[in-house]
Structure 1
Amino acid sequence: MIQSAYIHIPFCHHICHYCDFTKFFYNETLATDYLQALKKEIQTKVPGRDNEVKTIFIGGGTPTALNISQLQMLLEIIHHTFDVESCEEFSIEANPGDFDKEKIKLLKEYGVNRVSLGVQVFDNEMLKSLGRAHQVKDVYRTVSDLQQDDFTNISIDLIYALPHQTAEHFQKTVEEALSFQLPHYSAYSLQVEPKTIFYNRLRKGELHRPEQEEEVKMYAVLRELMAVNDLNHYEISNFSKPGFESKHNLTYWNNDYYYGFGAGASGYIPGKRMINIRPLPAYIKQAELDGNPTLKIDKITLKERIEEELFLGLRKQKGISDTTFIEKFGFSYHHIYGEQIDSLKTKKWVVEEERHLRLTEQGLLFGNDVFEQFLIDGDIIQVD
């Protein structure tokens, strides 16, 4: 079964300086054309009605940049194809300040039960330097409005290691975020990606980034404050109260299958990873033509599946189950990675308990170095 559906809405009213996702300035006519094309793609790739999925996630871009009639159109498209009532988690990304009470009521009526707010930092000047349109006061208003309409599953996303940020500054942001007493928080280190404003500034020597030691301090502050507030560190960058883990993102970390719809979206179905056309006019044209705006299909080999199982699974606090690995692949991960696991245990970067391999406290700080150990030499895996 395909576990999840990701639906990409690429429109924004402002372009953030760090964002490298597929995004375009909002235009009402273009957005309506896009939704018509998206409808054609979804109904072509997943024919029929009431198709079961465990999770649905509307991401972007900024999905709430759509006007009220367009947002309703999007939700109607989703309801036409998927059995929303049986869906365990129906999420939407949003920027604080993009919501009004009418949009919130509409989301509630159509079964959306989780909202992920892109707050990033509780500092108006720093928000402005990131290219964000909202202010701190908008976070308070948006959370209040959501809670008044009985939204209980709300997440706040933060970014750290921002230009000119210190560990002390980030601590204040985390403390203010925690004051909302929400069930879920995410915090990601800033990654400067090509084709972004920050990347161009970095190349010119105009982007002041914190030293690595300061970034490590920020991560330590993050983990400590989350623990004090009884939030479980269930994935490298994610924390939640019991039962409020992001079921959709767990689809990715569990290396399960998912649909990907919209410009630039990627999907993962048995044996294949699919990436859609990214430029908006080309996506719309192809989707309207045949409902299949796929740019590229990559065949996923057994080697790649196993590597991804390790890379993604080790992001989770509980790590990788050898029992589950055997069910998927027919042999233990020790068959391939015995030497690597022993070496990492010696460094105290991983530990194995009750047939679960996971990162240690120290291993969390050297995640990329750990993951590199699980690259497989050669294309053919011999199993006894």
Structure 2
Amino acid sequence: MIDIASSSFSSSWRMYFFASSRLLTVSASDLFFIIKSFYFFSHLLSLFLSIWHKMNINATKTLLDDIKHIYIHVPFCDGKCNYCSFYSIKKNPANTKLYLNSLEQEIIKTTGGTKLNPFTIYIGGGSPSLLNSSELKQFLKIIKNNFDLSNLKEWTFEVNPSSACSTILYLLKENGINRISIGVQSFSDKTLSKLGRRYNNNSIHAAICLIKEFSFDNFNIDLIAAVPGTSEQEWKNDLYAAINYGPSHMSVYTLSIEEGSLLQKMFLTGKWRKENEITEIKRINTAEKFLRKHGLRRYEISNYSQKDCECIHNVAFWEGKDYLGFGPSAVSRIQNMRLTNPSSLETWAKIVQNAPFSQETELLSWAKDSAERIGFAFRLLKKPVNPLLFTKENSIFFDSWNKIITELISQKIIMKKNNGYVLTKRGVNFADYVASLFINNVE
């Protein structure tokens, strides 16, 4: 006989024992309240969902049906670039097999076998294009078998110039991928070497020509602006080279020194200097003027596109839409929950194989959740944001957020537009500052 009061009997199993014994007397609405009360314990959520299924209530569908955006992380890369802090590992047959098997298990266990109906899927990494043809076929089959793609509007696949080939691009085209993102970063061999990239301009040219040959009309080129030691003319050369390939979308970033990156170590030991902010702003302004002249308008802090070619997946993220992430290190956002997978293939796979949920869960307060969503929303340059609308549920922040808005207007960083506020031309350079004001106000 089990002593449910003993210390050896875990609290989660005590809760499960209690809930199971009360199964016939607990209403569906009461059980849903219990689930919501304990959902930050992922193993408890799994146990309660199994109870709910016994009551013929599709709890998974209730919790996840509104999620229309999926991110899948492929962790394999042929090496670590100097600036990269994303989780990646060298690929081999054994860890690729472990990844693919665990990925399918994670999707099935997270969704409870329900086929979600996403609007967007984004495959990132790492370098997803490192998967060979048989591995890619299995990967795409996992997605097609476990998601309903009938309403899919955008399916993005990241391609590395060093691993793009006709076989991979053919498979992507045949299986419905309709958007490619290629991480060029620079067309200068000297700059690529400085960044730790492992390809050259010839590889870039060959990769983009293949993308166009397979009629991927919607493709993005990533560039990094203001790499230390590069001139204004070298930056213009990168922009000219990119636009000559006719991309529908471009992402332009400045280098940030990320924790855990090789660049951080180089910076701390004096082997790398960061470009000054004035130069960074000038390079971004150069890009904006040049790209606008060639039909790519800036719609977000770092992104430019032809008309109707904005990245739907990323816009949804900035608008605060919920999303699910699969694979090691992937992050999900469900209402005010942030769920993060382990940044280790082995740890992630072990948890996936032994439990229905693999995420560490952070339960955000209403204030922190709202502040983060406000900060992201301001990145979209044309869509007005009204932080005061978030305070209807919690008026304690109305005065402090109104004060922040008034101060930002006086600094000419934001301006009134329709029923909300947008960044001014000057304010575009202070988007991170705007976000920090709201986030720090609630911490």
The amino acid of 2:305's aligned partner reads S
TM-score (norm 1): 0.93
What's the Cα RMSD here? 2.0
Distance in 1, matches of 2:428 and 2:126, equals 29
Q: Percent identity?
A: 28
Q: Distance in 2 between matches of 1:20 and 1:203?
A: 16
8 Å contact 1:319–1:359 — kept in the other structure?
A: no
1:349, 1:360 within 8 Å by CA — same for their partners in 2? yes
Where 1:306 maps in the other structure, the secondary structure is helix
- Does the 8 Å CA contact 2:388/2:402 hold for their aligned counterparts? no
**Is 1:85–2:150 an aligned residue pair?**
yes
Change (3 A) 1:84 1:30: same
Asked if 1:302 is matched to 2:366, the reply is yes
Q: Distance in 2 between matches of 1:21 and 1:329?
A: 37
> 1:342: how far off?
1.6
| Structure 2: distance between partners of 1:85 and 1:335 | 46
Which 5+ residue runs of structure 2 have no aligned equivalent? Answer: 1-65
1:363 paired residue number = 427
Q: Counterparts of 1:132-281 in structure 2 under 5 Å? A: 132-281=197-346
TM-score, normalised relative to structure 2: 0.81
Asked if the contact 1:159/1:190 (under 8 Å) is kept, the reply is yes
SS of the residue corresponding to residue 375 of structure 1 reads helix
The answer to which structure has the higher strand fraction is: 1
Segments of structure 1 that go 5 or more residues without pairing to the other structure are 380-384
Map of 1:354 onto structure 2: 418
CA contact (8 A) 2:249 2:309 kept: yes
What is the CA–CA distance in structure 1 between the aligned matches of 2:435 and 2:177, rounded to whole Å? Answer: 35
Q: Name which one, 1 or 2, has greater alpha-carbon Rg.
A: 2
Distance 2:113 2:215 in 1: 32
Question: Residues 28-67 of structure 1 correspond to what in structure 2 (within 5 A)?
Answer: 28-48=93-113, 50-67=115-132
May I ask how many residue pairs the two structures share in their alignment?
377
| Partners of 2:273 and 2:441 in 1: CA distance | 38
Q: Report the Cα offset of residue 154 of structure 1.
A: 0.4
Change (3 A) 1:213 1:326: closer
Cα distance in 1 for residues equivalent to 2:190 and 2:441: 48
* Residue equivalent to 2:40: none
Q: Which has the higher helix share?
A: 2
Query: Is the 8 Å Cα contact of residues 5 and 260 (structure 1) preserved in structure 2?
Result: yes
Q: How far apart, in 1, do the equivalents of 2:192 and 2:351 lie?
A: 37
Task: Tell me the amino acid that sits aligned with residue 136 of structure 1.
Answer: N
Paired AA for residue 272 in structure 2: L
Deviation of 1:208 after TM superposition, in Å, equals 3.1
Structure 1 residues 347 and 102 mapped into 2: Cα distance closer, same or farther (>3 Å)?
Answer: same
Q: Quick check: 1:164–1:209 contact (8 Å CA) kept in 2?
A: no
1:123 Cα deviation (Å)? 0.4
The one-letter amino acid paired with 1:9 is: V
